[in-house]
Chains A and B, each alone.
Chain A
């Protein structure tokens, strides 16, 4: 089963994302900040990372950069899901190694079709 790591500091957001992903048959692991996500991803290989940007402890862009430094995550799709729509932040995400940028609010169908596309 395809495993997705969903990272957001808001419980409501994580619930909405997890509900959408589980409904489409994905296995979901949740984390509330970048550090928790990094630790979980190291211990349990996931197929896709879906992360918020602004989070306490470790932000989403640092998370992506850190994961790309691991051999096991060099080619894993990593999507940012954020309220940030500013171009410079997006470029920062791209430079860190993100696969794509989804601006909140998300529509469940749109989120699922984007995930399907990047999973190939």
Chain B
């Protein structure tokens, strides 16, 4: 019954009477695991949208738009154009503890965190039928917005990581808009692969700065782990 309703909703382009002014009532079904993501009808783009915050990711199989605002954080927009599934993440690497200098890449907590952010997005796409060989990857963000200890450029650390990750995984970057000094608003359309990027040059970025600083604090030194069950 549920499926029948969902497919009718997708196929029928004529909204039922009385629904014209409130398309948000008809939000497309969300994939399991993404129920907490903020979704809405975007009047400007005339499309259903999902807005992701630092530390979140979202994957869609239907014509939705994924939106985020990036300062020092980076986002990977990844899709399998053949299978028709794609998504976006939004993350930064946690700042290293002061005594962890020149530790090996595989061992440092900071890199591990980035690996998980990329792994979760790619795995979700693969789980929904995507294939590694088909993946189309676009990278955004990593501007000089927040500064770490010793005036470290947090953005450029994130950029280096995400480029390294893609190379190490044997994947290819289709396009990128990384670094610089301005925050970015990114609109991603996984069904077509198109991305709209707007550099935020004039608006007050206090909210963005606050959000990223809070996220940086939240992930610093916090060990990440999932559950373990022995049968």
Q: Shortest distance in angstroms between A65's beta carbon and chain B's nearest beta carbon?
A: 14
Q: Which residues of A contact B107 (CB under 8 A)?
A: 19, 23
Q: Is the interface of B mostly helix, strand, loop or mixed?
A: mixed
Given the complex of chains A and B, what is the CA–CA distance between A9 and B135 in angstroms?
Answer: 14
Q: Is the CB of A94 within 8 A of B123?
A: no
How many B residues face the partner with a CB closer than 8 A? 31
Given the complex of chains A and B, what is the CA–CA distance between A106 and B32 in angstroms?
Answer: 22
Contact with B along A3-38 (1 / 0, CB 8 A): 000000111110110110001000000000000000
Interface residues of B in 209-225 (CB under 8 A from A): 223-225
Query: With A100-B229, A107-B224 given, is the CB distance from A10 to B119 under 8 Å?
Result: yes
Q: Is the CB of A12 within 8 A of B119?
A: yes
Q: Is the CB of A103 within 8 A of B227?
A: yes
Query: With A19-B106, A56-B131, A83-B123 given, is the CB distance from A11 to B231 under 8 Å?
Result: no
Q: Which residues of B contact A86 (CB under 8 A)?
A: 32
Q: Is the CB of B231 within 8 A of A105?
A: no
Is B124 an interface residue when CB atoms closer than 8 A count as contact?
yes
Interface residues of B in 134-172 (CB under 8 A from A): 165, 168-170
